[in-house]
Amino acid sequence: MGAYIARRLLLIIPTLLGVMLINFFLVQFVPGGPIEQVIARMEGQGNVFGAFDGAGADVNAGAMENERYQGARGLPPEFIEQLEREFGFDKPPLERFLHMIWNYMRFDFGESYFRSISVVDLVAEKLPVSITLGLWSTLIAYAVSIPLGIRKATRDGTRFDTFTSGLIIVAYAIPGFLFAILLLVLFAGGSYYQIFPARGLTSPQEVWDTLSPIGKVLDYLWHITLPVIASTISAFATLTLLTKNSFLDEIRKQYVMTARAKGLMENRVLYGHVFRNAMLIVIAGFPAVFVGVFFGGSLIIETIFSLDGLGRLGFEAVVARDYPVMFGTLFVFSLLGLVVGLISDLMYVWIDPRIDFESRET
């Protein structure tokens, strides 16, 4: 197993390199870089995309043919050169990429172009929010899906199975962002009830400081309820059906019939014999489910509920062309995904020692 872990850890390096390489060179062809952002802010446009939506076309038409940057006409060349030096654009793309990778190998992600704060500090500040959302969503999905899936498997074909399957299909079909908006409208003061807060992970600081330790825990749970429910719905549907199908496959096997023939109680058969084998694929997939919730729902849910997490940070960095933050969050997301994939494989071995990855041909 040690050799397998070593191989997987070594494979993380070229995989990360490939991810960063592809995204870095794709960015080179995207209009509206950080220099254009600075120029747009100087001209009061707020961001560079105002130059592409048709607004101000009468001013800029015919004036941009010889300009390297949108909106740079009339600015001193020395100012543009200074911006290029500050952002590192005075060097060719390959040199910039190699310099970035060398820094990333030392976990030096640089400093944000527009926030005057290091990327490491930004990621460290936002990451707990995204991890909290992903972890709670995954735990609740497992806590509901496993008992429900087992119940559906033992009552396969009954009205209960048919009814819950219909609910699961509806839940799976509803997009997470649409369900989040529905929760806001119904329970966060949108049009009906003001039960839960509409934004944030905790109450304002002046209120938070006055709360007791138990009050802070309750306040946190009060704020996180709607975002967790919104991000759990799709994972809940998938896990329930996966649990049911895994149990059905095991229940039909010969050893289960033998256990029943010996007179064992049904619960003893299900939880003493079937559960361990049926739960292999479900429990071992916990890290993968967490990453799926963490990656897939973080941006949308964080934006809708105004949670200041890593997904929202990455999105804002892409819009603002804040390359250090953008590539820093990409690196963190990719690294987390690869490490969690390895953990998922190791959980298979931990749950069922019969699995031996080292015996596979490489």
| Amino acid 357: pLDDT | 65
Phi, psi of 188 (to 5 degrees): -120, 30
Q: What is the pLDDT of residue 273?
A: 77
pLDDT of residue 163: 92
Nearest of 137, 173, 112 to residue 307 by alpha carbon: 137
CB-based contacts of 144, cutoff 8 Å, min separation 6 = 236, 240
Burial class (CB in 10 A: 0-12, 13-18, 19+), 328: buried
The percentage of the chain sitting over the pLDDT mark of 70, rounded to a whole number, equals 84
Q: Is the pTM of this model over 0.85?
A: no
Question: Which residue would you say has higher pLDDT here, 70 or 2?
Answer: 2
**Region class of 67: left (phi > 0), else alpha (psi between -120 and 50), else beta:** beta
Express each pLDDT in 311-360 by its tens digit.
788 888 888 888 888 888 888 888 888 888 788 778 777 766 666 666 65
The C-alpha torsion from 130 through 124 and 200 to 208, rounded to 10°, is: 130
pLDDT tens digits for range 281-313: 777 777 777 777 766 666 788 888 888 888 788
- Among 4-13, 51-60, 237-246, 349-358, the least confident range: 51-60
What pLDDT is stored for residue 57 in this prediction? 42
Amino acid at 324: P
Q: What is the pLDDT of residues 252-281, one digit of tens each?
A: 888 888 888 888 887 788 877 788 777 777
pLDDT digits (tens, 9 = 90+) for 21-57: 998 888 877 777 777 777 766 665 555 444 434 444 4
- Per-residue pLDDT at 53: 42
What are the residues facing 194 on neighbouring strands?
188
Find all residues with CB under 8 Å of 231, minimum gap 6, and list them: 133, 134, 137, 176, 180, 293, 297, 301
pLDDT of residue 64: 42
Q: What's the pLDDT at 60?
A: 43
Residue 26 CA, chain-centre distance (Å), reads 21
Burial class (CB in 10 A: 0-12, 13-18, 19+), 264: middle
pLDDT given at position 221 = 87
Closest CA to 36 of 24, 26, 50: 50
pLDDT digits (tens, 9 = 90+) for 77-122: 777 777 777 777 778 888 888 988 888 888 888 888 888 788 888 8
Core vs surface per residue 233-250: b (16+ CB within 10 A) or e: bbbbbbbbbbbbbbbbeb
Q: Which pLDDT belongs to residue 74?
A: 55
